[in-house]
Amino acid sequence: MALQDSEAPPGQEPLLSVDGLRVTFGSGSNTVTAVDGVTFDVHPGETLGIVGESGSGKSVSVMSLLGLAAGNVVGGTATFEGKDLLSMSKREMRAVRGKSIAMVFQDAMTALNPVLTIGNQLTEALTIHAPMSASAARDRALELLRTVGVPNAEARLKQYPHEYSGGMRQRAMIAMAMANKPRLLIADEPTTALDVTIQAQVLDVLRRAKEETGAATILITHDLGVVAEMADRVVVMYSGQVVETGTVEQVFRRPSHPYTLGLLRSLPRLDGRTTRLLPIRGNPPSARAQPTGCRFHPRCDLAAGRSLCSEQTPDLLLSAEGTRARCHFLDEVPAFRAATTVGAPGSEVQP
Ligand code: SF4
C-alpha cells in the first residue's frame, strides 16, 4: 500500500498507485539501480509534480511503468484503475497508452511522425481506439487543434511537423494526447526545450487540456517554477529515491528535507527580496556511485559529518509541516531552515 500523504483527498481511491518501485540498468556486476523504492499516488483530477535534477530517476520512474524505459523493473507494484500495470502484456499496455494514459514529451519532433501530416496523425490517434468516420475524425482533429490554440487550424492540419515551430509542435502533441480523453496525462519536461514566452503558453495549453479532459496529470520536470505554477502536490527525487513529498504549499513554504531546502534557496525570488543565491555544494551522484546511508550526505550541511547520515538510509517520515521527508534529523530542520532566508519561484521559504 502506497504511503498516503496527509493532504491526499479523503476517501478517494488513487487513480495510479506506485509502491516500492525498483528499476535497474545493466546486468551482473554492471547492474545499477536507477530507481530505488519509489512510492507515490496520483488521485483523479490532480496534478502531481515530480521534480529532481537530471539523473534523479524521475523520468525512469514514470516511463518504466509504461514499458517505455530501457531499464528492468525488479520490484514494486503499480496499479492504474485497479489494474496491475507491471504485469500487462505488450498488447494490453498499448491499449492503455494513448487511450487511458497519454503522454507529452520534451521533444515533439521525435515524438511526432515526420512523414505524416499533423492532421493524419491526429485522426489516426482518434480512430485507433474509437472507430469513427473519416469526416467525424477530421472535424474532431480540427476542434482539438483549435482548443490548443493553433492558428489557421484548417490549413495547419495539412502541414508536416517540420512546418510547425517548436511551440506549435508541443501544442499539436498536447492535442494528440487529448484525443482520447485520457484519465492520466504524463508530461515529461514539456517546456524544457522552449524559450520562456513559449513555455508560458504551452503550460497554459496543458492547463486547458486538463480542464477539457478532467485528466489527472503527472508533470515531470527539473523546474521548480513549473511545479509551483501547475501542481497540487509534489514528489522531490534525489539519486533514485523520493526524499520529500507533500502539497506544493507545504513543500515550497516550509521544506522539511535539506535537499528540497537547498533546491529552493538556489533559486531567485519573484519579489526580488533575495540578497544572494546559495547553490547546493557538490554534484548529484551518478547511479554507479550512490553514497551509503543517506544519499544526500556528502552535500548536506545539516549532516555535519554525523556517522548516522553516512551509515543508515533514512525512512520517509512525517515531518512537523505535514510532508514526508527522508531525513534522520527531521526535528532539527526547522532551526536549520531558520538559519537561512531563502526564496522560491511563486512562493517563499519561511523559517
Ligand atoms: Fe542530511 Fe543526514 Fe538528513 Fe540526509 S539524513 S538529509 S545527510 S541530515
Residues of the chain with pLDDT under 70: 1-11, 268-277, 340-351
> Residue 184 in 3-state DSSP?
strand
Strand ranges in the chain using DSSP code E only, listed in sequence order: 16-25, 32-42, 47-51, 72-80, 83-84, 101-104, 184-188, 216-221, 233-238, 241-247, 316-318, 324-326, 342-344, 347-349
Residues 6+ apart with CB under 8 A from 244: 235, 236, 251, 255, 256, 257, 259, 260, 323, 324, 325, 326
* Grid coordinates given for 251: 513543500
Dist. CA 86–CA 150, nearest whole Å: 37
pLDDT value at residue 342: 47
Q: Ligand 1: does its nearest atom lie under 6 Å from the Cβ of 314?
A: yes
Q: Ligand 1: does its nearest atom lie under 6 Å from the Cβ of 327?
A: yes
Residue with cell 484519465: 183
Residue with cell 544526500: 296
pLDDT value at residue 111: 83
Cα(300) to ligand 1 centroid in Å equals 6
Cα(30) to ligand 1 centroid in Å equals 28
Dist. CA 136–CA 199, nearest whole Å: 32
CATH of the domain spanning 16-235, picked from 3.40.50.300, 3.40.50.2000, 3.10.580.10, 2.40.160.20: 3.40.50.300
| β-sheet bridge partners, residue 102 | 185
Residue ranges, comma separated, of all CATH 3.40.50.300 domains in the chain are 16-235
Residues 6+ apart with CB under 8 A from 261: 255, 333, 336, 337, 340, 342, 349
Dist. CA 42–CA 217, nearest whole Å: 8
Q: Ligand 1: does its nearest atom lie under 6 Å from the Cβ of 325?
A: no
| Helix 118-129 / helix 166-178 crossing angle, nearest 10 deg | 20
The protein residue with its alpha carbon nearest to ligand 1, atom 6, reads 327
| β-sheet bridge partners, residue 344 | 347
Cα(168) to ligand 1 centroid in Å equals 43
Q: Ligand 1: does its nearest atom lie under 6 Å from the Cβ of 238?
A: no
